[in-house]
Amino acid sequence: MSEILRIENLHKSFDDLEVLKGIDLTVQSGETVVILGSSGSGKSTMLRCVNFMESPTNGKIYLNGDLIGTERNGKMTYKEAELCTLRSRIGMVFQHFNLFPHMTVLENVLEGQVIVLGRAKMEARDKAMAQLERVGLAEKAFEYPSRLSGGQKQRVAIARALAMDPEVMLFDEVTSALDPELVGEVLKTMRQLAEEGMTMLCVTHELGFAYHVANRVLFLNEGIILEQGEPQSILKNPDTNRMREFLDGHSLFKLPD
């Protein structure tokens, strides 16, 4: 595997509140990294900085070896045109689906391809149908979002991101708004992507997914990576009391013997 994403000394502050306090992370192509941590630990902020929905206060981010932005006098500056291109290379799926209610499923998936990537409409349609097939929703192409379950809407959001041909996929608590019986279908889609070799960073509380699917687990605490390692090791034998406390809070989660 080769390096696809590198984060160096990432800091993010909102006024006087420092949320990220120096994140260093290298992600290899095809790796699935699950990010754990309690509320307020900086997990979502980290993902939003990676695709520049939030501008880092300090630090550098490289995608496939390319430094994002320009360094001037020790500070990074960013041009919006560069960031628009970057966001098409880094797909992101959120807790809420953000589908256009007045568009069909197919139209939702092809819209960004035409507007952002400039694809011809027929090419975008073919790509959209292929990605809907990939997430098991080709038969829903001409439905409107109001006719879909929450799990189906989330899978459409995943198809929409995949249709942009991203180099990395970011998932931010994508199952937390779903009814429990719908969580499995979304996690199954994410597991399929991992098995296909998609590079993914996933913020989630689904510890079973982390244990069985991730190549690596990070534990964020108060804006730093407190622990990281292979899931079978870090989830069963954490090094720090703070992570033990976090795992103890998931009393319904039982690891295999």
Paired tokens of 18:
């420092």
Distance CA 38, CA 59 (A): 23
The list of the chain residues with pLDDT below 50 reads: none
Residue 168 CA to chain centroid, in angstroms?
Answer: 8
Distance CA 253, CA 54 (A): 33
Element (H, E) at 196: helix 180-196
Are 143 and 105 a contacting pair, CB within 8 Å? yes
CATH number of the domain at 3-98+168-248, please? 3.40.50.300
SS3 at position 173 = coil
Count the Cβ atoms, other than its own, within 10 Å of residue 15: 5
> Residue 78: which of 54, 102, 105, 97 has the closest Cα?
54
The predicted structure's pLDDT at residue 251: 52
The predicted structure's pLDDT at residue 186: 93
Count the Cβ atoms, other than its own, within 10 Å of residue 225: 19
Are 97 and 154 a contacting pair, CB within 8 Å? yes
Distance CA 55, CA 181 (A): 36
Amino acid occupying residue 192? Q
The model's pLDDT over 148-193, given as tens digits with 9 standing for 90+, comes to 999 999 999 999 999 999 999 999 999 988 888 889 999 999 999 9
φ, ψ dihedrals at 123, nearest 5°: -65, -45
CA atoms in the 13 A half-sphere facing the CB of 133: 6
> Residue 159: which of 214, 209, 118, 104 has the closest Cα?
104
Q: What is the DSSP letter of 39?
A: T
Domain boundaries defined on the chain: 3-98+168-248
Residue 80 CA to chain centroid, in angstroms?
Answer: 21
Long-range Cβ contacts of 145-149 (<8 Å, 24+ apart): 145/97, 145/99, 145/100, 145/101, 145/103, 145/105, 145/108, 146/101, 148/105, 149/182
